[in-house]
C-alpha cells in the first residue's frame, strides 16, 4: 500500500505558501490560510471556504456546518469521519452542489459552484461528479441496470461499455441487473447506487457510507475498487465512513465534530483511526 502514497505526496496541491505548515491536502484553519481564497491551481478537486449551513431558525436553529474550510486534493482518496450528526453528509452535499450553503463558497475544480445558476450547476454535476447517497436514492420502477445508467441516459451519453462491465462485475451485480430495488437486498441496493455513481467515470466521486450495508467481503471489494479508481484512473474519492478499517484505505481522514473539521490524519491505519475516534465525545450521537 505504500507505493501509491509516495505518488500522491507528489500530487499535492501546488502553489501553497512555503511557510504553510505541512498539512497534506486537508483542512485549513488559520486566518492566514483563510486569506488564500481563490483556488489558484487545478489540483484541488473541491474546495470549501467558510462553509456554514444552518437549518431552522430562532432557538431551534441547527448549525450543521460551522465555518468549514476544506481542500479535497485531486487524485486522492479522502475519508470523512465523525459522530452521527456531526455534519458529514451535509459537507458532502454542499461540496457536490447538491445542497446550498447558508454562507461560504465552494469550488469544484476551478469553478465556483456557489455562484452558478441551476443549469450550469446541473451540467457540472452531471459531467464531473458521482454521488453515492447514504439512502441510495434508487428509482423503484427501474431495474438495477436502468438505475445504473439513468444519469447517462438523461444526459444522452453512452457509457463506455468496457468500464461499465468492470463496474458491474467488481460490484458483483451481474446476476441482479434485471431486478428492481424492492427485489434486492440492502447491500445489493447499495452496490447499485455505487455502480450508478461510478458508471460515467466521474472525476470526483462522493460516497456517503458506501460500505454501511455491505458484508465484509463486498465492502472490501468496493474499497479496493475505489482505491484502484484513485491510483490507476486518477479519480478523486471522498468517502464518509464510520468504519476505521474502511478509512484505512484512504490517504487522509478528516474528522468532523459539531459541524467543524477538528482533526485530520494522513496515511491512516485502522488502529490509529480507532484510537482517534475514542476521543470524540458522544454529545451529539443520535
Ligand atoms: N433538512 C434538515 N433539517 C434540519 N436539520 C437537519 C437537516 N438535515 C440535517 N440536519 C441536521 O444537521 C446536522 C448534521 O446532519 P448530517 O446529516 O450532515 O450528519 P452526519 O454527520 O451525516 O450524521 P450520520 O452519521 O448520522 O449520517 C444534524 O444535527 C441533523 O439533524
Ligand atoms: Mg450522514
Indicate which atom in ligand 1 lies nearest the CA of residue 256: 21
pLDDT at 15: 37
Assess whether pLDDT exceeds 50 at residue 135.
yes
pLDDT band at 183 (very low <50, low <70, confident <90, very high): very high
pLDDT at 240: 97
From 185, 190, 188, select the one nearest 174 (Cα to Cα): 188
Q: How far is the CA of 230 from the centre of ligand 2 (A)?
A: 23
pLDDT at 36: 40
Tell me what the mean pLDDT of segment 151-179 comes to: 93
pLDDT tens sequence across 11-27: 334 333 333 333 344 44
Report in angstroms the alpha-carbon separations of 281 from 69, 165, 257, 277: 22, 44, 9, 9
C-alpha 244/C-alpha 254 separation (Å) is: 12
Tell me what the mean pLDDT of segment 60-83 comes to: 97
Q: How far is the CA of 286 from the centre of ligand 1 (A)?
A: 10
pLDDT tens sequence across 206-224: 999 999 989 998 899 899 9
Indicate which atom in ligand 1 lies nearest the CA of residue 82: 21
Assess whether pLDDT exceeds 70 at residue 56.
yes
**Which residue is closest in CA terms to ligand 1's atom 6?**
55
Q: Does domain 74-97+117-279 have CATH number 3.40.50.300?
A: yes
Q: How far is the CA of 93 from the centre of ligand 1 (A)?
A: 11
Residue 114 · residue 105 · CB < 8 Å: yes
**Which residue is closest in CA terms to ligand 1's atom 11?**
64
* Residue to mutate (ligand 1; options 59, 68, 87, 260; most atoms within 8 A of CB): 87
pLDDT band at 281 (very low <50, low <70, confident <90, very high): low
**Which residue is closest in CA terms to ligand 1's atom 29?**
85
Q: What are phi and psi of 95, to 5 degrees?
A: -70, -30
**Which residue is closest in CA terms to ligand 1's atom 1?**
55
DSSP letters of 168-212? HHHTT-GGGTT--GGGS-HHHHHHHHHHHHHTT--SEEEEESTTT
Ligand nearest to the CA of 88: 1
**Which residue is closest in CA terms to ligand 1's atom 17?**
89
pLDDT tens sequence across 187-206: 999 999 999 999 999 999 99
Tell me what the mean pLDDT of segment 158-165 comes to: 93
pTM of the model: 0.84
Assess whether pLDDT exceeds 60 at residue 33.
no
pLDDT band at 280 (very low <50, low <70, confident <90, very high): confident
* Residue to mutate (ligand 1; options 56, 58, 62; most atoms within 8 A of CB): 62
Q: How far is the CA of 151 from the centre of ligand 2 (A)?
A: 23
Q: What percent of the chain has pLDDT over 70?
A: 83
Question: Residues of 73-90 as b/e, b for ≥16 C-beta within 10 angstroms?
Answer: bbbbbbbbbbbebbbbbb
Q: How far is the CA of 20 from the centre of ligand 1 (A)?
A: 33
Amino acid at each position: 500500500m505504500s507505493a501509491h502514497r509516495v505518488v500522491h505526496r507528489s500530487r499535492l496541491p501546488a502553489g501553497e505558501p512555503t511557510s504553510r505548515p505541512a498539512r497534506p491536502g486537508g483542512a485549513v484553519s488559520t486566518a492566514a490560510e483563510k486569506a488564500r481564497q481563490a483556488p489558484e491551481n487545478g489540483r484541488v478537486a473541491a474546495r470549501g471556504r467558510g462553509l456554514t449551513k444552518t437549518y431552522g431558525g430562532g432557538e431551534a436553529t441547527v448549525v450543521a456546518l460551522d465555518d468549514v474550510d476544506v481542500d479535497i486534493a485531486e487524485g486522492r482518496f479522502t475519508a470523512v469521519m465523525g459522530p452521527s450528526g456531526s455534519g458529514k453528509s451535509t459537507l458532502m452535499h454542499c461540496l457536490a452542489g447538491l445542497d446550498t450553503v447558508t454562507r461560504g463558497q465552494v469550488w469544484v475544480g476551478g469553478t465556483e459552484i456557489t455562484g452558478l445558476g441551476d443549469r450550469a450547476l446541473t451540467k457540472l454535476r452531471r459531467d464531473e461528479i458521482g454521488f453515492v447517497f447514504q439512502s441510495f436514492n434508487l428509482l423503484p420502477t427501474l431495474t438495477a441496470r436502468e438505475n445504473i445508467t439513468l444519469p447517462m441516459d438523461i444526459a444522452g451519453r453512452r457509457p463506455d461499455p468496457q468500464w461499465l462491465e468492470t463496474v458491474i462485475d467488481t460490484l458483483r451485480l451481474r446476476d441482479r441487473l434485471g431486478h428492481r430495488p424492492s427485489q434486492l437486498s440492502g447491500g445489493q441496493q447499495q452496490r447499485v447506487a455505487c455502480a450508478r455513481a461510478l458508471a460515467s467515470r466521474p472525476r470526483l466521486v462522493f460516497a456517503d457510507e458506501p460500505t454501511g450495508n455491505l458484508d465484509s467481503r463486498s465492502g472490501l471489494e468496493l474499497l479496493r475498487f475505489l482505491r484502484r479508481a484513485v491510483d490507476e484512473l486518477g479519480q478523486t474519492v471522498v468517502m464518509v465512513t464510520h468504519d476505521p478499517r474502511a478509512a484505512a484505505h484512504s490517504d487522509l481522514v478528516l474528522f468532523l465534530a459539531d459541524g467543524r473539521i477538528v482533526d485530520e490524519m494522513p496515511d491512516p491505519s485502522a488502529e490509529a483511526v480507532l484510537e482517534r475516534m475514542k476521543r470524540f465525545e458522544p454529545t451529539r450521537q443520535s
